Structure 1
């Protein structure tokens, strides 16, 4: 396994010197920003690529937050953590005990705790203690069964689909561009109170910006009632001659019942959307990971519903003229027949996304 070691250097010099040898002795490959060329400060992009290409993300939290990149107004370590969460990489968090974090670092530590679903977290006292803890964590990961589990679902949950709460405001005659809607119903979670619902918008928008789902430059206005919070994101790009618009995250909704909904428009040309198994799997994987990162899902078991809606004029690939459902904009909806564990939002996201994508493709062909 490739193990990415993420931290600032200041205050954690001894830890960074000790960890590569330990990781190699355990039979794995350490990845650190020192590996990315001879420059003193490797580029942000190189570090994020290093995270994306790793199997394990190991985060050290010491006293200092570090330099903020102007692109994100976050430190390199903070950006690396976000990338690990976006990719669903197994995450280990080690916080140094007995040190006073600066204000920015204290805020990061609090934030890490808020979205630590799927992460292993432990405090350590000194370098020998850290090495012992890291060894234990990696050995546990080597021997652990898949955290993604499936269970029976006696009664499918009641799902509120997007067209049941939203009046389309997209292109022509009240229609919308083709979108994937993902709905997550906690089976053993707790409903939100009215007070909690009204306190959610700022936290949701902050997390969406942190995870890159919403640009810092884009303004969003939440729709808040006693029953739900809905955040709709403006479309960033439209197709033109010779240029296709990419898939675009368009919104999230949290209902008092606990249901969390995410929707994303498909990539499209001027004549219609593009769809294939790879496109669907990639979008749904990102949706699942984002839903987990929002820190609004409670409980241990979940039921996942998915649908394709909006304009159903689609091609099976960017070069194909074959279309599904031309003239028939009835949505395709896939309801769950089993429950899944919370690993669906981290390391299990791609597996579930692939299964859901296959079912959508099958539904398109009918």
Structure 2
């Protein structure tokens, strides 16, 4: 297992230097920027590329936030946290005791410690204590227990399906079918008008902060009585008929607490493609995007997914390099509205992070099971 070590050096020199030998002794491979050879790639890009190659990430957090990159407005450690979160990498987080946090580090620490989705977090006061806890954390990761906890539902949840909603649709002008993912917090009382106003004011910033949306894409905010939606511009004209991967197009925050994400499916000039191999990872990405918004902080959630009954969708294999020459829609033209999964369990918040791939695979199987044969 490759273990990426992320931290500033200032104030953590001894602790940081004590870890590579320990990780190696446990049979793993430590990865840290001090060991990078000279290369033409900018240091930030090199670190993120190394993180992508890792199987797990180990974060050491002390008093100092670190140098802020003008491109992102974040430190290297913060950038690496966001990148690891987006990729769904398992994370071990260790906070140093007895130090006074700088203002930026205090804000970052709140983000990390509020993220209750199965991330391993602990604290330490010395290098020896840190090493003991790192051994425990890595052994737990190495045993690969599922981070998910499931609970049987006693009644069907009241999910809001956007495609079935005949009211104002912020993406009504988009002439392509959209994949829907819905995450409903259990036992959530819903938001008051004041709480919704506060969350709406932060919604566009939260969406940008996930880094799932390209910085070149404009965002639009729509408010209504019962939800707020942030959508991206339609880039279909820019890409033409070239094969395109699916992209997140909209996120809705409902007054009930439900979060809905809509994405395009992979497509080529013959239409949209429901790919059995690509769909699990697309759903996992949508789950991680939902978690990265930081709107759901505790408890269990119900998740569901659906696609519209649409003759422009076909079950096929997506090839990003060339378009298909013919398609077979396989019954999507029937007038059934949406093909929807029917959740009978709730799941812990790890579904929105390092359990996203497992839940995305389950959703994909359930959704294909709803399609006509």
TM tier, smaller:
0.7 to 0.9
TM-score relative to the length of structure 2: 0.86
Residue in 2 that maps onto 1:203: 202
Q: 1:343 to 1:93 in 2, by over 3 A?
A: same
Q: Deviations over 1:34-93 (max 9, x none)?
A: 343225985333322322232321111123323333442322211211121112222122
Pairing 1:335–2:334 present? no
Residue in 1 that maps onto 2:329: 323
Tell me the CA shift for residue 223 of structure 1.
2.7
Give, in whole Å, the separation in 2 of the partners of 1:276 and 1:116.
31
Secondary structure of 1:201's aligned partner: helix
Tell me the CA shift for residue 237 of structure 1.
4.5
Give, in whole Å, the separation in 1 of the partners of 2:66 and 2:242.
39
Structure 2 unaligned regions, length at least 5: 319-323
TM-score relative to the length of structure 1: 0.88
Residues 237 and 245 in structure 1, CA contact (< 8 A), matched pair in contact too: no
Q: Which segment is superposed worse, 140-149 or 28-37?
A: 140-149
Residue in 1 that maps onto 2:367: 360
Residues 270 and 327 in structure 2, CA contact (< 8 A), matched pair in contact too: no
Residues 115 and 297 in structure 2, CA contact (< 8 A), matched pair in contact too: no
Give, in whole Å, the separation in 2 of the partners of 1:170 and 1:225.
14
Residue in 1 that maps onto 2:247: 248
Give, in whole Å, the separation in 2 of the partners of 1:310 and 1:238.
24
Tell me the CA shift for residue 103 of structure 1.
3.1
Tell me the CA shift for residue 175 of structure 1.
6.0
Give, in whole Å, the separation in 1 of the partners of 2:54 and 2:189.
35
Secondary structure of 2:277's aligned partner: helix
Q: How many residues align?
A: 364
Give, in whole Å, the separation in 2 of the partners of 1:345 and 1:44.
26
Residue in 2 that maps onto 1:52: 52
Give, in whole Å, the separation in 2 of the partners of 1:246 and 1:139.
36
Residues 239 and 268 in structure 1, CA contact (< 8 A), matched pair in contact too: no
Q: 1:98 to 1:239 in 2, by over 3 A?
A: same
Structure 1 unaligned regions, length at least 5: none
Residues 253 and 260 in structure 1, CA contact (< 8 A), matched pair in contact too: yes
Tell me the CA shift for residue 16 of structure 1.
1.9
Secondary structure of 1:48's aligned partner: helix
Residue in 2 that maps onto 1:307: 306
Tell me the CA shift for residue 200 of structure 1.
0.6
Residues 222 and 232 in structure 1, CA contact (< 8 A), matched pair in contact too: yes
Tell me the CA shift for residue 160 of structure 1.
0.8
Secondary structure of 1:94's aligned partner: strand
Give, in whole Å, the separation in 2 of the partners of 1:30 and 1:230.
42
